[in-house]
């Protein structure tokens, strides 16, 4: 049984724009899958179906169970989503309150939630930010804190949308190293194909709302003709390999 399974997923926005047109993929426990494709391919839209934020037609299952059958809090604790823009999920006066918010909603006592939040902040290298206002942080700091809010729910799957976007080289390397060390299964959407090479076991190439190829990362990302057909280019580290 796949940990996450998407079968013939279709979704249209209210204006009629077809964002997903029969996308299918699967994620096994302990594995990492990257979604790559040109802008508008449907990557972010697909991610938002995985913990019930959007609902299309077709099937989305987590641990064999349709997402619509999960209680919302339980699903979002199992599938931890980190948004493309961290400020979209940080809304409390301090970092510690933001990271404590999810555990409190799961029913932890305030002391237990703060203890868990403190431990998670320490694990992502952000312990010193606990009393800072989230929106006064740097881009790299905000990404660490947004990741901490998901990890505080102790998810089995991490879903990450463009996790290194807009980071400087040092911040980018730090986030990649952090993600590589996490034990959770991961689904990562991103344009940074060098990051994908470092983090993903498999790649799904999306275009016009469909998965056009799914396979081992290095094999697919070295296929120049395939990538060019879908608006992508072979990453520099694989050219000539």
Question: What do you get for the CA distance between the two ends of the chain, in Å?
Answer: 35
Q: What is the pLDDT of residue 166?
A: 87
- The segments of the chain whose pLDDT lies below 50 read none
Task: Give the whole-angstrom CA distance, residue 144 versus residue 55.
Answer: 28
**C-alpha distances in Å from residue 133, one per residue of 17, 48, 142:** 37, 26, 10
Name the class of domain 4-82+153-238.
Answer: alpha beta
Domain boundaries, the chain: 4-82+153-238
């Amino acid at each position: 049984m796949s940990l996450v399974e998407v079968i013939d997923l279709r979704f249209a926005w209210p204006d009629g724009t077809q964002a997903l047109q029969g996308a299918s993929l699967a994620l096994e426990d302990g594995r990492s899958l990257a979604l790559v494709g040109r802008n508008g391919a449907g990557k972010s839209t697909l991610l938002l179906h995985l913990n019930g934020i959007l609902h299309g037609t077709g099937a989305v299952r987590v641990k064999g169970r349709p997402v619509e059958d999960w209680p919302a809090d339980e699903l979002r604790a199992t599938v931890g989503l980190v948004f493309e823009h961290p400020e979209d999920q940080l809304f409390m006066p301090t970092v510690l309150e933001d990271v404590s918010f999810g555990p409190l909603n799961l029913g932890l006592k305030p002391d237990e939630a703060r203890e868990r939040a403190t431990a998670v902040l320490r694990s992502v290298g952000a312990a010193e930010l606990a009393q800072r206002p989230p929106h006064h942080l740097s881009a790299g700091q905000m990404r660490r804190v947004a990741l901490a809010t998901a990890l505080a729910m102790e998810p089995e799957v991490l879903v990450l949308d463009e996790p290194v976007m807009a980071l400087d080289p040092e911040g980018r390397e730090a986030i990649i190293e952090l993600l590589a060390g996490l034990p959770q299964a991961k689904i990562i959407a991103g344009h940074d194909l060098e990051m994908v090479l470092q983090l993903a076991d498999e790649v799904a190439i999306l275009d016009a709302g469909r998965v056009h190829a799914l396979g081992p990362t290095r094999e697919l990302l070295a296929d120049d003709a395939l990538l060019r057909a879908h608006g992508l280019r072979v990453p520099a580290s694989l050219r000539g390999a």
